[in-house]
Amino acid sequence: MARCPACPTGTLRDKLVETWQKRRGQWVLLKNVPAQACDACGEVVFPQKSAEWIGDLVSDENQDVPTGQDVVLVFDYTVIHRGAAQPTPTEMPATTAGAPTAKATSATNVIFSDGFRG
């Protein structure tokens, strides 16, 4: 076990942690990221593999992740590394409920039949 770099007494232990990272101006939550956490002060140290994964994910060159405002994307390290080819947001807002296309179509129909009758 490695000694904690942030305090004199702590020891780093393997742990899955959550971490907030900023990607293209948007906060994303990364879950279950393998890391080492201090048992005394809580300092979190990411091993190289995790740090590289985070770096790739939040890179501006990563075009595979949708962007949007007021949307929190959650990435679960353990889910993604279970075999998914690409990072997949696991929580998205239910925007489809507010989609206006169906309503707009029926409104147009009503106007048309009114005009047809008159």
Neighbours of 73 (CB within 10 A): 21
What is d(CA 39, CA 35) in angstroms, rounded to the nearest whole number? 12
Q: Is 4 in the site for Zn ion (CB under 5 A)?
A: yes
Task: Tell the smallest beta-carbon distance from residue 35 to Zn ion (Å).
Answer: 13
Compute, in degrees rounded to 10, the torsion defined by CA atoms 13, 16, 17, 21.
120
Mark residues 39-58: x for contact with Zn ion by CB under 5 A, - for none.
-xx-x---------------
- To the nearest 5 percent, what fractions of the chain are helix, strand and coil? 30, 30, 40
Q: Is 1 in the site for Zn ion (CB under 5 A)?
A: no
How many residues of this chain interact with Zn ion, rule: CB under 5 A? 8
Q: Is 2 in the site for Zn ion (CB under 5 A)?
A: no
Nearest residue to Zn ion, by Cβ distance, number only: 10
Q: Is the dihedral of CA 76, 82, 87, 91 positive or negative?
A: negative
The smaller minimum CB distance to Zn ion, of residues 5 and 93, is found at 5
Residues in contact with Zn ion by the rule CB under 5 A: 4, 6-7, 10, 38, 40-41, 43
